[in-house]
Amino acid sequence: MRVGIGYDIHRFAANGGTLMLGGIRIPHPRGLAGHSDADVLLHAVADALLGAIGSPDLGELFPSSDARYRKAESRIFVQEACRRVRREGWRVGNLDATVVADAPRLTPYKTTMRQAIGRLLRVPASAVSIKAKTTEGLPPDARGIVAHVVVLLKRATSDKRQVTSGFRRSKTGRQP
């Protein structure tokens, strides 16, 4: 098994914009400021996946200095991270996310976000947990949205028996 931790923070844009969070559009008068669509949750998901396999992080793979990613949909970052995870022989076991935002209230959108992220990760929505918290008005997070993500990866194999040094473990735990 492997574990990855992802984190991202974006401030609200000065004027208008579209708020994308967890791959869905959330009704709100202001979007988040960022080079891409600024989906803070998907950015943290991608970084957690990349971290779990020891890959370069989101900023290295998709630098904000690269015009190709200007206004890009953050789902492409997660899709690339998933490709890398699969290429290394892993699959997502589950994902746990905490989103910190004073506004908008996210509870009505959590199920839809879980479904959208589950589709991106190729796991059932039941393997995706999203919790919404507020800052209780404490700075600095009150002026934006923060996402924390933990992902568990499992070996992508149909054989559930443990393999060690090329030998299968017997039921007693001894190698043959």
Per-residue pLDDT tens listing for the chain (176 residues):
999 999 999 999 988 899 999 999 999 999 999 989 999 999 999 999 999 999 999 999 998 888 888 889 999 999 999 999 999 999 999 999 999 999 999 999 999 999 999 999 999 999 999 999 998 877 766 689 999 999 999 999 855 544 444 444 445 554 44
173: tokens are 């735990």
**Quick one: CATH architecture of 2-168?**
2-Layer Sandwich (3.30)
Burial class from Cβ neighbours inside 10 Å (0-12, 13-18, 19+) for residue 61 reads middle
| Residue 104 preceded by cis peptide, ω within 30 | yes
Tell me what pLDDT residue 140 has.
62
Threshold 0.85, pTM exceeds: yes
Tell me what pLDDT residue 169 has.
46
36: tokens are 């891409």
